Structure 1
Amino acid sequence: MYLASLGKLALGSRLKALSDHFYGAADAVYQARGARIESRWLPVMRYLWDVGPGSVTEVANAIGQTHSAVSQLTDKLVRAGMVKRRRDPADGRRTVLVLTDKAHGAMAELGPIWCAVRKGVTSSLGEHAAQLLAAIEACERALQERPIVDAILAEHTALLARPVEIVPYAPEWREHFYRLNAQWLERYFRIEDIDRAVLNDPERYILQPGGEIFFARLGDEIIGTCALLQESPGVFELTKMSVDETFRGLGAGKRLLDAAIAEFHRRGGTTLFLESNSILKPALRMYEQAGFRLQPNIRPGSHYERADVYMIYEPRRS
């Protein structure tokens, strides 16, 4: 399932899909058994049935929905003849919601269906039903203690306050070297045999021949990588440059490129080249701005099927 692969980023979407599934299941049961309510009516109607008349604000607070949502649902219930608005006898300035006789009759018929719902949920979900309810309750408590919007904005502020660091290769980050490069290769092209070999064993194919691998790190997140591959003494290839798409715009690509060029100069390299593809226009602009010059033909003996761009670094003379 695609949304599952997004983890916490798709939490709301997955919960909505699950909620819609349960609402749909409840409606199917109600319709099959001739019940006179809809599943989305239940929170408001059950509250008024259990507690008695209440204002929109009271109902909204009790069932954990917004005032606007409850107000809109109330309009539907009024049109359906299930709820009416009336002045509070104890306070004429206050409007409360009251179930109609029709609603009381409809609710009174639902006992056997609700019993079947409880048993059916247990039968379908098994122990996951109790675990899900416990997890929901724990989440509700946590959200009351610290609203999630505040938490996310605080984390975003802290994240942007941290500079993007460029760090050298470490074995524990090998998986990120593969992940980041596979991400863009699979999106735009495919992982070729040469890519698969290098990404699965960067120590053998890049580090041992005298190359270097850099990572861009933001806090505890590895967000980008690139490699400097030594093809022969003094000749280096800039390769395997990739930045996680969700972190673009922070300058990580430029920082990685600058680090690779600086390392090339530090080693006294004579030639630095790269191979790319003409569809990757933002990357090509960045390479040009850094001093790479487009060559008229593709590189002789290129290892990459996708390569239709060949660029050589020509540092500006001061």
Structure 2
Amino acid sequence: MTTFVILLLGFLFGAIIAYANLNKYNVISGMAMLRDFTVAKAILTAIGLGSVLLALEMHFGLTIYHIKPFIATGIMLGGFIFGVGMAILGYCPGTMVISLGQGSLDALAGLVGGLLGGWIFTQLYPSLQGVLGPNWGALSISGLIESPVLFTVVVILFAATLLFIAFKLNTKSENPKDKKWLYAGIALAVLNGIVFLKAGQNRPIGASTSFPYMADSLTCSTANEYFAKIKTPGNWEMIFLLGALLAGFVIAKLRGEFKFTVVHSNWQQYRSSSKASRTIWAFFAGLILIFGARMAGGCTSGHVISGGMQLAVSSLVFGAFVFAGLLLTGKYFYR
């Protein structure tokens, strides 16, 4: 029953993302080039509304926060590397699986690269401990503000600011009347709120931990310190992503859009029409995407969205460095 519930949650996650095309290579690479703000608008909406929803759940004792520690170098350097990988690959760990379900074979190359990146991180984990720090603990805005009233005001202002930016970005869109990003952002906030509930899964949504978990399982490299640490969340996320994969396939079939694709139009326009080139770059980008995510302890869904909803300092800083890596790569890689 538990496995079915996780699969269902993953399916809903994948369906929401696919509904608004947030998983598409052209959409995510377009964000790196500041040509498409669909993903940014949806994420800002999800974080803003989700922060209010989680604050209400906390107030009524329905959930607890799961703050990721602020391991300084890992958060900042890992976030930047993640942003570079995301710009080149055109997917994040969750959207990569959804796009694979829709026939994007470059996503498969990225997934294989991600598995290798996860395996490499597992092997290097003991020696990286002294490099990733210092560990400043699980810092959050909620923990820094003692007054419940003041915290409520901060959350409302935080949410209002993010929603204002989202709607402002929408005015720059080619089709500002299209509100799929808004509905997807609301749905992601609600889904995260459900997963956070003590009566639910009592955890944040995530994706990148599944990669080293699967890589170690496939290579029988489970007798190590890191695998013991990620075994439970890695298994949960693997089942969750399987549900997202199924959602991507179902949505594509219902729309009549399922198609095996390697080279997308943005890649062809700014890089080349070579399938081999796209495959090699996707593999490399997938590798550094997951390696960066593991350095930082999370990805777009687990850090940026889930962590942002909790006003976690580590997640807010991670998001800033991801954005920096994404934009710099968009500027210099896509010429």
Give the TM bin, normalised by the shorter chain.
under 0.3
Relative contact order, higher structure (CA 8 A, sep 6+): 2
Instruction: Judging by fraction of residues, say which structure has more helix.
Output: 2
| Greater Rg over alpha carbons, structure | 1
Instruction: Judging by fraction of residues, say which structure has more strand.
Output: 1
With normalisation by structure 2, the TM-score equals 0.20
